Structure 1
């Protein structure tokens, strides 16, 4: 048993009247003790449920992110014309609506904007379809690659995926606690704001509840994160809704100053208002995505253009939102997004094969 962790647990688990917030350093220490399993299972479970009831502060979230930075993996920087986009999407997946981020990723990468994704396998308590399964259906199996191999794919294609079970087992080892306590622990929030990229990036974080965004802004301010976007997206993801107003927060540097702007996007103003595309069984989902990549005009293709246009604009590759929509549609209809998928599939298959492993060793050493 960790006596140090017991003292931290006592602070957050003493009830509504006597519990205390942790300092940033204490939160980082508690997170390290849990990730490294120096705290006992009883202590870890107790902390998760107590901290969920108390609710983490921005300072605590900053400390937890500090620990993730210290112990977690990162993809190294690559040369690009724009800041890479890192998408923070709930690890427990989707259960109601079709995830559009894989299509958005291909469109952005085809336009020259690198994209870093991260996540794991099916995860409690939601057990929705995770991104990695969508990519597997598209022919890209990130689960087989080491971090070094993922880095090689990222450098070649501008798309990378940090897969928790392989690349960050310390964090993946805490996943069973989610099922045992029956609730999302604070780590589910940390994952939305974690940046597993070594250089400067544009961090996109999905959220559902407004207090989550407030925590993010506070934590980012403490950690010096100046370029980020928060999205009240579909099922907490970075996918912009089409059946309601999009609530987006944009933090950027203007004349050396960090500024935050609230943006309300009304899909109807741009001709994209519609009901959300429901989640389909995987074979049908794959067929729908393939149709989009072949230039088909479907509701899913409109969702892909709506989202990609926004992110092309915010990445700086397009001067305004309307130009973003035009470029996104062009990348689909001309087959360039489909070409990016073929390039990505080939890169993963080659690097994961015997020949690819030899090539990888040559390129690394």
Structure 2
């Protein structure tokens, strides 16, 4: 048993009247001891559920992120671009109800030279939804690569994917706890904010509940992250909804610009595309990449156009939608996917020789 961890557990697990918030350093220590398994299984399980009940603070999340930065592997800064890297923070437990379009968004952005970093693992409790790694595999891209090879892919194509089971295996030790607890621990909130990129980046985080956005703001302020975007997206992702108003926060140097994007104002209102299976999702995505009209195509243009504008590629949102549609229907995004696939295959082959 870790006596040091026991003291931290006592602080967060003493009940609604006597529990106390951890300092940033204490939260970092707790996260480090859990990742390194210095705390016992009983202590870790008790801490995760107690912390969920207490609710994390921005300062605690900042400390947990400090530990992730200390122990986790990250992609190194690009030297071949003037564009600020975009990191998409998406729930690790995937999607289970609505079809995701974030991989297509990433392809649209990298097609115009905008670097994008994504991250995640395999099938994850508590939702057990379709993880990003499986979607990319279905599209023909194997991101289950050593970090050095992932870095090569990133530098060549501007798309990076940090796959935690290979690049940050310490996190795998905590997956079982998520399964047994049956509830998302505060780790799930912290992961939405983590940047597995060692350089300056624009972090885009999805969320569901409004208090989460305040936690993002507090934690980023403590860590000196001046530029980030929050999206009240589908199932907590960065995907903008089409069946309701998209609520977006653009944070720059402690200033907040609040956007309420109404899909009907731009001709994109509609029902969300249901997620039936990975096979059907890949087939739908392939049709989008072929430029065929569909509801998922509308979602891809809606999201791609917004992010083209948000990244500064297009001067306004309307021109972003026009550009996104053109990139998809012209086959340029499909060509980018083929390029990424070829680069990954060539790098893997070169390391097998």
**TM-score, structure 2 length as denominator?**
0.98
Partner residue in 2 for 1:68: 68
Residue 280 of structure 1: CA displacement?
Answer: 2.6
The worse-fitting range, judged by mean Cα deviation, of 180-189 and 281-290 is 281-290
C-alpha contact 1:81 1:112 (8 A) present in aligned 2: no
| Aligned length in residues | 352
Give the equivalent residue in structure 1 for 2:131.
130
**Residues in 1 aligned to 2:121 and 2:27: alpha-carbon distance in whole angstroms:** 24
Distance 1:286 1:13 in 2: 44
Instruction: Write out per-residue CA displacement over residues 206-243 of structure 1, whole angstroms, 9 at most, x where no aligned residue.
Output: 00001111100000111110110000000000000000
CA contact (8 A) 2:130 2:278 kept: no
Deviations 1:308-345 (A, max 9, x none): 11111010111110111111111111111001100111
Query: In the alignment, what sits opposite 2:285?
Result: 289
| 2:188 aligned residue | 188
Counterpart Cα distance in 2 of 1:28 and 1:91: 21
Tell me the distance in 2 between the aligned counterparts of 1:260 and 1:2.
42
Instruction: Specify the SS of the correspondent of 2:84.
Output: coil
Aligned partners of 1:5, 1:224: CA distance in 2, in Å? 27
Offset at residue 283 of structure 1 (A): 2.1
**Paired position in structure 1 for 2:228:** 228
Partner of 1:49: 49
The aligned residue for residue 85 of structure 2 is 84
User: Take 2:249 and 2:196, find their aligned partners in 1: how far apart are those partners?
Assistant: 21
Distance 1:69 1:8 in 2: 21
Task: Give the Cα–Cα distance (whole angstroms) in 2 for the partners of residues 107 and 60 of structure 1.
Answer: 35
1:141-197 deviation line (CA, Å, top 9, x unaligned): 112x00111000000111011011110011121111001111111111111000000
Q: By how many angstroms is 1:116 displaced?
A: 0.3
- Counterpart in 2 of 1:361? none
Could you tell me how far apart the structure 2 residues matched to 1:283 and 1:194 are? 30
Specify the SS of the correspondent of 1:193: coil
* 1:109 equivalent in structure 2: 110
**Per-residue deviation at 1:129?**
0.6
The aligned counterpart of 1:363 is none
Using the alignment, how far apart are the partners of 2:299 and 2:161 within structure 1? 22
Q: Tell me the CA shift for residue 81 of structure 1.
A: 3.4
TM-superposed CA distance for 1:356, in Å, is 4.2
Q: CA deviation at 1:357?
A: 4.9
Residue 36 of structure 1 pairs with residue 36 of structure 2: yes
Other structure's SS at 2:251 match: strand
Unmatched 5+ residue regions in structure 2?
none
Look up the match of 2:140.
139
1:273 matched to which residue of 2?
269
Tell whether 2:315 aligns with 1:314.
no
CA distance in structure 2 between the partners assigned to 1:131 and 1:73 by the alignment? 19
Q: Is the 8 A contact 1:84 1:115 kept in 2?
A: yes
- Counterpart secondary structure, 1:117: strand
Deviation at 1:271, TM superposition (A): 0.3
> Which runs of 5 or more structure 1 residues have no equivalent in the other structure?
359-365
Give the alignment's TM-score, normalised by structure 1.
0.95
CA distance in structure 2 between the partners assigned to 1:286 and 1:4 by the alignment = 48
SS in 2 for 1:30: helix
Secondary structure (helix, strand or coil) at the match of 2:192 reads helix
Report deviation, 1:260: 1.0
Q: Does 1:264 align with 2:260?
A: yes
SS at match of 1:202: strand
Matched, 1:197 2:197: yes
Matches of 2:265 and 2:33 in 1, distance apart? 50
1:142 alignment partner, SS class: coil
2:206 counterpart of 1:206: yes
